[in-house]
Amino acid sequence: MDLSNTDTPTTATLLLLIQSDRNRELLADQLSDEFEIQTVATDPFDDPSFDLCLVDPPSLREHQGQLRETTTTAEPAFLPILLLAGQRSPDEFSDDVWDVVDEVLQRPVAKSELDARIENLLERRQLSLELARQKIQSDQRFEALFQSTPDPVVVVTPDGTITEANEAFTRTFDIESSQVQNQPITDLELSPSDAVERVLLRIADDNPSSTTVEWNLDEDTSLVTEVNTDIVTGFGDVAERIGIFRDITERAERERELKRQNDRLEEFADTVAHDLRNPLSIAQGRLKYAQKTGDDEHFEAIESAQDRMEQMIEELLSLAKQGQAVLDPDELLLEDAVDRAWSHVETTNATLDVDIEDTCVITADEGRLCELLENLFRNAVEHGGETVTIRIGCLPDAAGFYVEDDGPGIPPEKRSDVVQAGYTESENGTGFGLSIVNQIVDGHDWQLDITEGDDGGARFEISNTK
């Protein structure tokens, strides 16, 4: 029976299963003014279309199995069976009769009572048809919403068997639809699976739950989702749990970037307070002596302290901005960036050995890439001496580039310290050069590795693989 269109019929159809021809004809004449009458002249169970069946005991015995099957098939709609029991008491019928029959009338039957019983049963049927129609429409709307939502959605039974999964779920996790339906969710190769199972298999918990999961879709792609789950009953007779996976990758990245910026801001404030205090104290102390004695040497010391503070402030401001994420990088020839950076550095008698193919391209922010190279060149000159040799070349498989020198190098135990803001062992150094390099690397989402060069000096490898 199609329940999607159950508008109230103009006339209800009554099926008369009455063994006596005379009784059947009398009953049909009595009811035909208000109802369509269907008799056993045609098989009523081939394509049941009646709204109410009136049956006597002999016909009930003959058609009981067919009536039971027909009423069961009609569910959730109500298909009433009214037994005209004659003079037999309802207590005389066996229990299996009541699995089929909804109401019983005994003789003598007044027409008013028969009409009232029929009207009551038909009203109940019409109400059930309307409720069934509404449920079908609700299920159809839910199914349309379920499939059309861009968020992956999955429904599991209490034992973890998947009963429904929308297209977004199979597409996002690259799973065939045939691999999902009626499969245990624990069998899906989802990583990390424990977090999802923890929220989806809490069927006994009636409360909604939520968790954030980072998925490794493949070696290069990750997905951060907010998994929201709740109990639903629309897909079956038992309670199931629905899980909605909302993509919050961009939000998570913004939160991580905000945390990095806050960490850098805190580091910046600590560095300003710590590293500017020393030259400021020198200037203040020398000023007192200068006011007392007027000696030029004190003014020279004050001027030197001021110059050092100015240099530190400039580098601190550079440090503060370099960690920001690069959102719109360009494809640049590495050789051009090296030439530009080298021209901005006081290199005196240092030598630059460039081993770069003229087609080597780096995707980067041009200004920050040049500043990174400038700081590496300055670091090599500062620690390697005026005649230091600096080499720069591409890493294998175009994964990045390296800058190395033939200076004293950096001991392994200090390689993690030298990129910290303010760290320096040089009397004239600010300790910000390599920290700026590290921040620019982070801003590009690159990786910085400090090792030993071919000639024992420091080697800095900048790669685009993390």
Q: 166-193, pLDDT tens digit by residue? A: 888 888 888 888 778 888 877 776 655 5
pLDDT given for residue 203 in this prediction:
47
Task: Name the β-bridge partners of 15.
Answer: 38, 53
Sequence-separated (6 or more) residues with CB below 8 Å from residue 165: 152, 153, 154, 155, 177, 180, 181
Task: Name the β-bridge partners of 241.
Answer: 156, 231
- Which residue is associated with the tokens 């907010």? 226
| Domain ranges (residues) in the chain | 13-144, 149-247, 251-322, 325-466
Q: 299-331, pLDDT tens digit by residue? A: 777 777 777 677 667 666 665 555 566 778 889
pLDDT given for residue 60 in this prediction:
92
Comparing C-alpha atoms, which of 312, 46, 242, 259 is closest to residue 15?
46
Distance of CA 149 to the CA centre of its chain: 13
Q: What is the four-CA torsion angle of 372, 373, 375, 379, rounded to 10 degrees?
A: 140
Return per-residue pLDDT of the chain as tens, 466 residues.
445 454 545 689 999 999 999 989 999 999 999 999 988 766 778 777 899 999 999 999 999 999 999 999 888 889 999 999 888 887 788 888 888 999 999 877 788 899 999 999 999 999 999 988 888 888 788 788 888 888 988 888 877 788 888 888 888 888 888 778 888 877 776 655 565 666 566 545 567 777 787 777 676 777 888 888 887 765 555 678 888 888 888 888 888 878 877 776 676 666 566 556 656 777 778 788 888 887 877 777 777 777 767 766 766 666 555 556 677 888 999 999 999 889 888 887 899 999 988 778 889 988 888 888 988 998 898 888 889 999 999 988 768 899 999 999 999 998 888 887 656 666 555 566 788 888 888 888 899 999 999 889 999 999 986 5
Do residues 216 and 195 touch, judged by C-beta distance below 8 A? no
User: What is the pTM for the complete model shown?
Assistant: 0.44
pLDDT given for residue 54 in this prediction:
95
Q: How many CB atoms lie within 10 A of CB 155?
A: 22
Task: Name the β-bridge partners of 214.
Answer: 224
Could you tell me the CA-to-CA distances from 77 to 50, 138, 262, 427 in Å, in that order? 12, 16, 63, 91
Do residues 458 and 442 touch, judged by C-beta distance below 8 A? no
- Find the length of the chain: 466
Q: Which CATH superfamily is domain 325-466 in?
A: Histidine kinase-like ATPase, C-terminal domain (3.30.565.10)
State phi, psi for 286 to the nearest 5 degrees.
Answer: -65, -35
Q: Which CATH architecture has domain 251-322?
A: Orthogonal Bundle (1.10)
SS3 category, 331: strand
C-alpha–C-alpha distance, residues 247 and 183, integer Å: 24
Task: Name the β-bridge partners of 363.
Answer: 331
User: In the structure encoding, which two tokens stand for residue 95, read together?
Assistant: 């229990």
pLDDT given for residue 122 in this prediction:
95
The packing angle between helices 366-384 and 433-443, to 10°, is 150
> DSSP code of 93?
S
Do residues 264 and 439 touch, judged by C-beta distance below 8 A? yes
Domain 13-144 matching CATH 3.40.50.2300: the answer reads yes
Quickly list DSSP for 222-256: EEEEEEEEEEE-TTSSS-EEEEEEEE-HHHHHHHH
Report the CATH fold assignment for 149-247: Beta-Lactamase (3.30.450)
The b-or-e profile of 17-53 (16+ CB within 10 A means b, else e) is bbeeeeebeebbeebeeebbbbbbeeebbeebebbbb
C-alpha–C-alpha distance, residues 96 and 209, integer Å: 46
Do residues 20 and 56 touch, judged by C-beta distance below 8 A? yes
Sequence-separated (6 or more) residues with CB below 8 Å from residue 1: 48, 73, 74, 77
